[in-house]
Structure formats: structure tokens, C-alpha cells
Structure 1
Amino acid sequence: MIILYIPLAVLILYFINSLTNALCIQKEIPEERQPKVFRTINILITILLISSFVEVTFT
């Protein structure tokens, strides 16, 4: 299970980051605010991925 989940999680994080980059470009978010936006989104997606892994594994 974990062998399939980790590559999928990395792929999801990659696509979310590319979508976040497109959002920053489209909304013209200043360069100094972009790291905060990326950090926030990455933390939230990581929490979501970990909680979904725990739910699938232990239920």
C-alpha cells in the first residue's frame, strides 16, 4: 500500500505546485508573498494526504 501511495502523493504535490504557480501568475501575486502561498498550500495538501493515508490504512 505504501509503495503505491508515496509516488502518488509526490505526483499530487507536483501538480498542486504547478497549479499554485499558475495561480500566482494569473492573480499577479507579488514575489515576496509567493513563498508564503506555496508553503501554506503545501502544508495543507500534506496534511490532507497524511490523513487520507491514515484513514485508508486503519479503517
Structure 2
Amino acid sequence: MLIALFGLFSLTYLFVINSMTNALCVQKEIPAERQPKIFRTINILLTILLTSTFVELWFT
């Protein structure tokens, strides 16, 4: 049950953060060539954060 809730939370969190990143790129007029690098970096960092949180929840 906890795994399903955490999975739902993770997907929602990634969607919200990606939406905010897109809004930032539009507002700051970041060139289209740089946007994939920005999204990739943010998504990798969030994946590391969510994975470490999942491992912490799993083993406590």
C-alpha cells in the first residue's frame, strides 16, 4: 500500500516540478537548445531524491 501511494506521489511530484520548470523556461525565455539539458538535469536530481526517499521509507 505504501509503495503504491509513494509511486502516485512521485509521479505527481515529477509532473508538478516539470510544469514549473516549463513555466520558468518560458518566463526567462531560455533558448530551446538549452531546455532539454535543464529538464534532464532537474529530472535526474529529482529521481535521485525520490529513490533515496523510497529506500529510506522501505528500510524503516
TM-score (structure 1 length as normaliser): 0.94
Gaps of at least 5 residues in structure 2 are: none
Q: Distance in 1 between matches of 2:24 and 2:39?
A: 10
Match for residue 25 of structure 2?
Answer: 24
Question: For residue 40 of structure 2, what is the amino acid of its counterpart?
Answer: R
Runs of 4 or more, structure 1, over 4 Å off, are none
Q: Specify every segment of 5 or more residues in structure 1 that has no aligned partner in the other structure, as ranges.
A: none
Which residue number in structure 1 is paired with residue 14 of structure 2?
A: 13
* Aligned counterpart, 2:46: 45
Match of 2:37 in 1: 36
- Tell me the matched-pair count: 59
Deviations 1:1-59 (A, max 9, x none): 11111111000000000000011011111000000000000010011000011111112
